[in-house]
Amino acid sequence: MLILAIESSCDETAAAVVRDGREVLSNVVASQVATHAEYGGVVPEIASRKHLEAVSLVVREALSGASMTLDAIEGVAVTRGPGLPGALLVGVSAAKAIAYARKLPLVGIHHIEAHLFAPFLERPVEFPFLALVVSGGHTHLYRVDGFGMYATLGQTLDDAAGEAFDKVGKLAGLPYPGGIAIDRLAAEGDPRSIHLPRPLLHDGSCNFSFSGLKTAVLNYVRKNPGSTEGEHLKNLCASFQAAVCEVLVAKTEAAILAIGAKRLVVAGGVACNSALRAGMAKMAERRGVDLRIPSPILCSDNAAMLAVPADHYLQMGMDAGLALDSLQTWRLDDVAAERR
């Protein structure tokens, strides 16, 4: 089945054309990072206006990138939630209009559900598997038993890991996005040079906490003038990144043992981080677990990933039709109950 997928739940407006939930024919992301960088911070401009300006453009780009017109499309998928109502509305309205005009079946997908299946675009993963979704807004561990069958094992109790990267980047005076700049500087620093806390490392749960680590970096920077320059900055980045990655890897390992997982998926924007990829690979090898981390373009927000679960649901005959509404808050565990 040829699916047109549209995503507008957060900062990115994106569209993709995917065949059979597997073959990506086009994957267009109207990245707003360039606009954001001007503010040198976690960044304003999550305007629904931006999505509105971009949505027709990315859909057109996705179709032409796949060398086809809407005539060839057999189904439409859109991010239904969670997210801001004004942002979600743009994608949902565009998807509904296309589905209505072309008499195509339409399905709404949970944003995090889409991230879970991003690696399937490269090679399917057998159920059940453990998944860590780690991004600016999420740091969650899920057990995935099948399409629509998800259980939260643990999550952040305050800030997401990606948010900690961006905020530490900001207080160290690094360009946005902070995660990329920290990753690059950390490669040349000593991760053992500055002692930083590993929050909740030994609490026995699968939960995370990164707010205190961010504050610890802030206190360190205040007490050590010059720590945001030169070699000292490289060491600070390396030490901070090591603390985040150690906690992410250790908690994921605990979850593997708790549920006896044989397969692990790591997805979301922070899955682009090189130290995290290396740390996960080492741990997975030690535990004999099959690790799957999508390539960077499929880790960050995109529309192609929606097509994997969408293809499954549409093949089952689901069609939300014009009744499809966006859901601002939507727990992944409740996906089946809210499926439309």
User: Rule CB under 8 A: which residues touch other proteins?
Assistant: 10, 41-49, 82-87, 135-137, 155-160, 162-163, 167, 170-171, 207, 211, 214-215, 218-219, 328-329
Choose between 233 and 283: whose C-beta lies nearer to other proteins.
Answer: 233
Choose between 286 and 329: whose C-beta lies nearer to other proteins.
Answer: 329
Residue owning tokens 């879970």: 116
Choose between 142 and 313: whose C-beta lies nearer to other proteins.
Answer: 142
Choose between 159 and 183: whose C-beta lies nearer to other proteins.
Answer: 159
Q: What residues form DSSP beta bridges with 266? A: 132
What count of Cα atoms within 13 Å lies in the side-chain half-sphere of residue 331?
A: 11
* Under 8 Å between Cβ of 73 and 25: no
Min dist. Cβ of residue 266 to other proteins (A) = 19
Sequence-ordered alpha helix ranges (H) in the chain: 33-37, 48-65, 85-102, 111-116, 161-171, 178-186, 211-223, 230-259, 274-287, 296-299, 307-315
Distance CA 287, CA 300 (A): 27
Min dist. Cβ of residue 14 to other proteins (A) = 17
Min dist. Cβ of residue 70 to other proteins (A) = 28
DSSP string, 248-313: HHHHHHHHHHHHT-SEEEEESGGGG-HHHHHHHHHHHHHHT-EEE---HHHHSS-SGGGHHHHHHH
Choose between 209 and 241: whose C-beta lies nearer to other proteins.
Answer: 209
Min dist. Cβ of residue 212 to other proteins (A) = 8
SS3 157: coil
Min dist. Cβ of residue 136 to other proteins (A) = 4
Choose between 170 and 262: whose C-beta lies nearer to other proteins.
Answer: 170
Min dist. Cβ of residue 216 to other proteins (A) = 9
* Tokens representing residue 126 in the block: 């057998």
